[in-house]
Structure 1
Amino acid sequence: MTPIDLATWPRQQHFSLFKEFTQPYFNVCVQLDMGALYQYCKSQQCSFFHAYIYATLQASNAYQPMLLRIIDGVPWQLAAQRASVVELAEDDTFRFSYFSQQATLNDFQLHANKVSLAAKQQPLFSTAFAQTEGQADLIHISVLPWLNFTSFSHAHTQGNYFGIPRLVFGQFDAKKGAMPISIDVHHALMDGLHVAKFIEQLQQSIHALCA
């Protein structure tokens, strides 16, 4: 993790403006082209869910603005980030699974299966939760496979979020090959152009899995 030099950072004034906002996050919802990835996962008998989480970690670690955080009121650049992913347990309550980027999709599936199994056997306030949640090097990911939404709003408090991006995937539409994604980012760190470039990076990561 490296501190950003505010004296030379082009976003210095933008950072100063938005970091003091009561609600500094902005949200964008778009449709992702997921048809080819879905068909690839069916043909390879692998998890569609794991595939797009893997692609998301690849894209978010490859695109520099998604690795920006605010720590003690100043901007920092992460070297890498992990995913805090919401998953359902058998009792229909959620747990947080903490996934790290892996070299291949197969490696990621083995890692994710192990992490998910352990998380779902523990209460929400588990040891993993206590040791991991609330750290700056996370990206928050939720999945709503029951809803083809066009907008989204998160529950939030006035706590310190470090400028962590929050992503929500919706229901896959098999006829259109599309899936909605909601992205919340901190306006002191990113603008709409950066979100658009990240979506492009994510779409490239998704398509690369099918190549």
Structure 2
Amino acid sequence: MDNMTNKNALMQPIDFDTWPRKQHFELFKNFTQPYFNVCVTLNAQRLFEYCQQHNRSFFQAYVYATLKACHQYSPIMLRVIDNKPWLLTSVRASVVELSEDDSFIFSYFNHSPTFTEFSSRATKVSKAAKSQPLFSDAFNQTEGQADLVHISVLPWLNFSSFSHAFSEGESLGIPKLVFGQYDKSTGLMPLSIDVHHSLMDGLHVAKFINVLQNNINDFCKE
């Protein structure tokens, strides 16, 4: 099953026989629920204050930092296609946003080399998405493809655990991230991350979070 518009251009096959995770992949890929979840706390004070001072969107800033981190850390770019591991060369963010009627829609943000470019495109995408129903043309053309990272935002909740709705069946191994409420008094913000255990272990999650935290810290240098 081809889950990509242009698979050869967007992903590379893994040499399965020499891949160190070959046995781990075989162990977990057929689990009914192959994902594991970790909840961590990010220090976003420097990012939040910078966005406030420079009239930039805090939401767009941490989504940008997340996409940048994905492109900097290859294990989170791994996917399961046709029961084999593949490495993406680029990912997009499928982001849950709130409509005026308090229902949610999906916006699809592409990775950009600069935040200025990312923000300009994201603002246009968000505006267009909020004028469409959930099952929009963008949804029909994009959801179900492997080159996505699912991002949700819960700015009303300072959670310490999280679980997703899921269905049984074939999984592409798409990571799922949920950002919680930013605490202005501490500068901290919770993040829930679900990853496919065939592709990543706890060590990989820790390394990815470190890359993301560094991007958040260094955002003001962009």
* TM-score category of the 2 structures, normalised to the smaller one: over 0.9
Residues 61-76 of structure 1 mapped to structure 2, 5 A cutoff: 61-76=71-86
Residue 29 of structure 1 corresponds to 39
- In structure 1, runs of 5+ residues without a counterpart are none
Q: Secondary structure at the match of 1:66?
A: helix
* CA distance in 2: counterparts of 1:198 and 1:103, whole angstroms: 19
Identity across matched positions, percent? 64
Which structure 2 residues correspond to residues 110-189 of structure 1 after superposition, within 5 A? Answer: 110-189=120-199
Q: Deviations over 1:75-119 (max 9, x none)?
A: 000001000000001111100000001121111111000000110
Query: Structure 2: where are the runs of 5+ without partners?
Result: 1-10
Question: Deviation at 1:210?
Answer: 1.9
Following superposition, which runs of at least 4 residues in structure 1 exceed 6 angstroms of deviation?
A: none
1:7-46 equivalence runs, <5 A: 7-46=17-56
Shift, 1:161, TM fit: 3.0
| Cα distance in 2 for residues equivalent to 1:115 and 1:78 | 23
Matched, 1:101 2:111: yes
Supply the AA of the counterpart residue of 1:39.
E
Are positions 1:204 and 2:207 aligned together?
A: no
For residues 61 and 127 of structure 1, the distance between their equivalents in structure 2, rounded to whole angstroms, comes to 27
**TM-fit CA distance, 1:190:** 0.1
Look up the equivalent residue of 1:163 and give its one-letter code: G
Matched residues, number: 211
**Alignment partners' CA distance in 2, 1:168 and 1:89:** 18
Shift of 1:207: 1.1
- Whether 1:4 aligns to 2:14 is yes
The normalised TM-score by structure 1 is: 0.99
Aligned-partner Cα distance in 1 for 2:192–2:118: 23
